[in-house]
Amino acid sequence: MKVTIDGIEIDVPKGTTILQAARMIGKKVAPPAMCYYSKLKTTGGYCRTCIVKVTKASAQNPNPIPKPVASCRTEVADGMEVQNFTSQEVIEARKGVVEFLLINHPLDCPICDQAGECKLQDLGYEHGSAKTRYEFKRREYEMIDIGDKIKLHMNRCILCYRCVKLCDQLTDKRVHGVIHRGDAAEISTYIKNVIDNDFSGNVIDVCPVGALTDRTFRFKQRVWFTKPVDAKRNCDKCSGKVRLWLKGEEVLRVTARMDEWGEVEDFICNACRFEKKRKSDWTIEGPSKIDRHSVISQNHYEHLNELKVKAMKQQKALGFMPFDKRP
């Protein structure tokens, strides 16, 4: 099936979504995706950041689809033509979506563990508008520990449903989910509970923001001060292929390896993630290849001062208030 995205044609198998087709073409046409996750089934459709305009539905039906579609959940048809970054309408609409995602976000990046590898931060920077027009009190929740491994900071959650689908698909007894509804919806265990089984730690990696974070991340460090390396061990539960985040000889944190779309390559087990915190537990394969565009890599190799300026610029772009001055 032939599909044209932003003027570039590609041949893809039947059943491919517009988003997948765009990713095959490459970064220059791929829409941002905050909720879709190719490694999990039935994800996508919620955040609406990946919306695109279909200017020609198919070879048989040359009419445009009147409303923008979620590219992650729309399959291509032969002869389909799609506009993403070439459509001003899409860019405007996406700006709206980004603003919606941010109006209740605490913008606490200066103290957030995820800063530097947060998909929402990247999204706001690349696709948002200069400042927020929201003047009301933001939604606030207490931060809680879901057991001794995972921290939930609901303020930051964008309700992408990835963590819920992950637990449905990788673990047998889901204990957390989405409760309440509308803008009162929250990720929660409802009763005091612990998310704990062999693969539950992966919720940390799939969470696009800093809502689910690793409590065992030692000496809380900005990610860009740590050095990522790919490492391996023989594990009977998972592939044992991980990324270690090192500071000198110390393993600060273990995550899955990420691909160029920020998705894990292989899900890893909790033993690898939470328990193997000595360098000697691992065979180091070499430095991680990190996408040059990502905030981590940019900042990682840059001088500290420059880094600060960047972070500040980014915050300004997002309409941040300094954390201590927030109402």
Partner 1 sequence: MGRKLLLAHENVPGIDRLDVYRAHGGYASVEKALKSMKPEDVVEEVKKSGLRGRGGAGFPTGLKWSFLAKPEGVPRYLVCNADESEPGTFKDRYLMEKIPHSLIEGMIVSSYALGSNTSYIYIRGEYFYVSRILEKAIQEAYEAGWLGKNILGTDYSLDLYVQVGAGAYICGEETALIESLEGKRGNPRIKPPFPAVAGLWGCPTVVNNVETIAAVAPIINMGGEEYAKIGIGKSTGTKLISASGHINKPGVYEIELGLPVEEFIYSDQYCGGIRNGKKLKAVVAGGSSVPILPADLILKTAKGEPRLMTYESLFDGGFQSGTMLGSGGFIVMDEDTSIVKNLWNFTRFYHHESCGQCSPCREGTGWMEKILHKFLEGTANLSDIDLLWDIQSKIEGKTICPLGDAAAWPVASAIRHFKQEFEEIAKSKKFKDVSHYERLHKPAMA
Partner 2 sequence: MGAQIHGTLEFNAEKRKDIRFSEEALKEIEKIKSRYPQGKQKSALIPVLHIAQAENDGWLSPEVMDYVASLLNIQPIEVFEVASFYTMFNLKPVGKCVIEVCRTSSCWLLGAEDIIKYIEKKLGIKEGQTTPDGMFTLKTVECLGSCGTAPVMQVGASYHENLTFEKVDKILDKYRAEGRRRNYTDLDYENTK
What lies within 8 Å, CB to CB, of 179 at 6+ separation is 185, 186, 188, 190
Can you read off the two tokens belonging to residue 7? 């003027």
Which residues make beta-bridge pairs with 10?
3
Q: Output phi, psi for 146, to 5 deg.
A: -100, 85
Size of the site for partner 2 (CB under 8 A): 23
- Whole-number Å distance between alpha carbons of 111 and 227: 20
Residues 120-139 contacting ligand FES, CB under 6 A:
none
44 touches ligand FES (CB under 6 A): yes
Sign, CA dihedral 317-263-106-150, equals negative
What does 157 interact with, of partner 2, partner 1, ligand SF4, none (CB < 5 to 8 A by kind)? ligand SF4
> Could you tell me if 179 and 189 are in contact, meaning their C-beta atoms sit under 8 angstroms apart?
no
Binder of partner 2 out of 133, 181, 292, 303 (CB under 8 A): 181
154 touches partner 2 (CB under 8 A): yes
Smallest separation (angstroms) from partner 2 to the CB of 178: 6
- Whole-number Å distance between alpha carbons of 273 and 66: 46
130 touches partner 1 (CB under 8 A): no
CB atoms within 10 A of CB 310: 15
> Could you tell me if 94 and 51 are in contact, meaning their C-beta atoms sit under 8 angstroms apart?
yes
Binder of ligand SF4 out of 3, 98, 102, 206 (CB under 6 A): 206
- Whole-number Å distance between alpha carbons of 37 and 143: 25
Surface-to-core class of residue 180, CB atoms within 10 Å of its CB (0-12 exposed, 13-18 middle, 19+ buried)? exposed
- Judged by CB, which is closer to partner 1: 120, or 223? 120
192 touches partner 2 (CB under 8 A): yes
Helix, strand, or coil (residue 275)? helix
- Judged by CB, which is closer to partner 1: 46, or 225? 46
177 touches partner 2 (CB under 8 A): yes
Of 101, 61, 95, residue with least CA distance to 81: 61
Of 30, 209, 214, residue with least CA distance to 120: 209
Maximum Cα interatomic distance, the chain, rounded to a whole number of Å:
61
- Whole-number Å distance between alpha carbons of 272 and 204: 14
Smallest separation (angstroms) from ligand FES to the CB of 218: 32
141 touches partner 2 (CB under 8 A): yes
Q: Would you tell me the crossing angle of helices 88-103 and 119-127 to the nearest 10 degrees?
A: 140
267 touches ligand FES (CB under 6 A): no
- Judged by CB, which is closer to partner 1: 93, or 203? 93
What does 72 interact with, of ligand FES, partner 2, ligand SF4, none (CB < 5 to 8 A by kind)? ligand FES
182 touches partner 1 (CB under 8 A): yes
187 touches ligand SF4 (CB under 6 A): yes
- Judged by CB, which is closer to ligand FES: 261, or 323? 261
Smallest separation (angstroms) from partner 2 to the CB of 142: 6
Smallest separation (angstroms) from ligand SF4 to the CB of 125: 18
- Whole-number Å distance between alpha carbons of 162 and 52: 21
146 touches partner 2 (CB under 8 A): yes
Per CB under 6 A, residues contacting ligand FES are: 33-36, 44-50, 70, 72
Give the binding site for partner 1 (CB under 8 A): 44-49, 51, 66-68, 70, 73, 75, 93, 96-97, 99-101, 103-104, 133-134, 136, 158-159, 161, 178, 180-185
The contact set with ligand SF4 (CB under 6 A) reads: 157-163, 187, 206-209, 211-212
Residues at the interface with partner 2 (CB under 8 A): 141-142, 144, 146, 152, 154, 173-181, 184, 186, 188-193
